[in-house]
């Protein structure tokens, strides 16, 4: 059996971002692949019954990159796509099929969509360009003065004159999107309150936000208005998630300010601000896996939360009591890295990959997809071997060795 070669990168594929329907019966997920000729990642949204009663079916065309599947409270799915050009826009499509309705015509990519609880609106994030970008030729644009230390990002470009803001758009396409945040700040990760009147998000809105590593959770009226900071400006807060009863917001909390390294923790704060409760102090692990980009803490009910951690080369899922009354417990674990997960009405789905398996979708121990089976079966994929190195001070450092395909002892 042949070993992998560099050209195999064009054959890679995988499953990610699974989302369960409100009734707990169907899971939507994204399948990505690489288009060699276009030199870009493409993908489609697929649907599968949670009980395995029928095989998965492709939901969107996948002619570009369809991603971010998000269920409405009813029978629609919102998703993002580049199908009509070089900019990612927002679409909504009935789960029974048909034409996708395009909701946006923006000049910058749409990201992070989230449905309002009544299914009438969708909040999302997009960058807002300065007027100078109306001139398409960089060489003809007037000079601009950069006054922020954070002014550019890899794969994004200039950001000092393209701040990231929140928008709200009617889900039926009856009106243009409305920008609800403003200012020289970066806003992200919007989350609706259960009653639909408020939106929580992560941002740094203090004067020296670009030079001080502090970020907070804010809450603002969903119709627009002044954001209110509900966290303590003493670390980095991200990924807000409302409790089902609307009384609390869970989020990821990194407690360091100029004093790395620290573990990101899962915390809860009253929705109107107040004393936070850190839930994962007893777990000496990072609760914000870096490489997988796993999502915000998920409320199973008003009493418990699901979250992912980094643990010795793996990314498992844990559960913790929302009031901090008990220690976190393992829910889904093994020698793998989660690439996504969701939970509705006691049903949990997840996707993961290993060094010998591309990312696939699972319900419990049952594998739902086989998108990478052909790739993996056609190549010899050696298993990494774990060992422990001992530092001069006696500290143990986990390490792995990957022997080449066809390795012979000696």
CATH number (domain holding residue 88): 2.120.10.30
pLDDT at 62: 85
Whether 173 maps to a domain, the answer reads yes
Lowest mean pLDDT: which of 7-11, 216-220, 243-247, 260-264?
260-264
What phi and psi, each to the nearest 5 degrees, are found at residue 11? -100, -5
Number of domains in the chain: 1
The rounded mean pLDDT for the chain is: 95
Whether 394 maps to a domain, the answer reads no
Whether 197 maps to a domain, the answer reads yes
Range(s) of the domain holding residue 228: 6-384
Whether 270 maps to a domain, the answer reads yes
Q: pLDDT tens-digit profile of 74-129?
A: 899 999 999 987 899 999 999 998 899 999 999 999 999 999 999 999 999 999 99
Burial 122-143 (b: 16+ CB within 10 A, else e): bbbbbbbeeeeeeeeeeeeeee
pLDDT at 256: 87
pLDDT at 86: 85
Whether 1 maps to a domain, the answer reads no
Whether 262 maps to a domain, the answer reads yes
Whether 405 maps to a domain, the answer reads no
Q: pLDDT tens-digit profile of 208-236?
A: 999 999 999 999 999 999 999 999 999 99
DSSP per position, 86-131? SS-EEEEEETT--PPEE----SS--EEEEE-TTSSEEEEEEE---G
User: Going by C-beta distance under 8 Å and a sequence separation of 6 or more, which residues neighbour residue 325?
Assistant: none
Whether 339 maps to a domain, the answer reads yes
């Amino acid at each position: 059996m042949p070993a992998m070669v560099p050209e195999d990168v064009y054959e890679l594929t995988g499953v990610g971002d699974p989302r369960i329907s409100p009734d707990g019966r169907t899971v939507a997920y994204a399948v990505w692949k690489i288009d060699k000729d276009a030199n870009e990642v493409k993908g489609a949204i697929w649907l599968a019954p949670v009980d395995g009663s029928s095989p998965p079916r492709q939901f969107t065309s996948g002619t570009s990159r369809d991603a971010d599947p998000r269920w409405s409270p009813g029978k629609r799915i919102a998703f993002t796509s580049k199908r009509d050009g070089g900019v990612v826009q927002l679409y909504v499509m009935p789960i029974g099929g048909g034409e996708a309705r395009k909701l946006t015509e923006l000049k910058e990519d749409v990201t992070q969509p989230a449905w309002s609880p009544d299914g009438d609106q969708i909040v999302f994030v997009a960058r807002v360009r300065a007027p100078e970008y109306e001139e398409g030729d960089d060489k003809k644009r007037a000079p601009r003065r950069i006054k922020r230390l954070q002014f550019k990002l890899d794969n994004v470009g200039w950001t000092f004159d393209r701040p990231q803001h929140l928008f709200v758009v009617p889900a039926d396409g009856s009106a243009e999107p409305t920008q609800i945040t403003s200012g020289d700040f970066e806003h992200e990760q919007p989350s609706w309150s259960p009653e639909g009147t408020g939106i929580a998000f992560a941002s740094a809105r203090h004067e020296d936000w670009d030079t001080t590593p502090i970020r907070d959770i804010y809450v603002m009226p969903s119709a627009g208005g002044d954001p209110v900071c509900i966290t303590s400006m003493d670390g980095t807060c991200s990924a807000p998630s409302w409790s089902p009863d609307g009384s609390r917001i869970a989020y990821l909390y990194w407690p360091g300010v100029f004093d790395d390294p620290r573990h990101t923790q899962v915390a809860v704060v009253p929705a109107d601000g107040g004393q936070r409760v850190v839930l994962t102090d007893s777990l000496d692990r990072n609760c914000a896996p870096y490489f997988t980009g796993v999502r915000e803490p998920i409320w199973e009910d008003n009493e418990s939360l699901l979250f992912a951690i980094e643990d010795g080369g793996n990314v498992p899922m844990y559960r913790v009591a929302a009031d901090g009354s008990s220690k976190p417990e393992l829910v889904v674990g093994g020698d793998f890295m989660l690439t996504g997960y969701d939970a509705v009405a006691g049903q949990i789905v997840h996707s993961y990959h290993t060094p010998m398996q591309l990312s696939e979708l699972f319900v419990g121990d049952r594998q739902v997809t086989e998108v990478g089976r052909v790739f993996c079966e056609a190549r010899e994929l050696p298993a990494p071997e774990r060992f422990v190195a001992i530092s001069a001070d006696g500290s143990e450092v986990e390490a792995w060795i990957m022997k080449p395909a066809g390795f012979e002892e000696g």
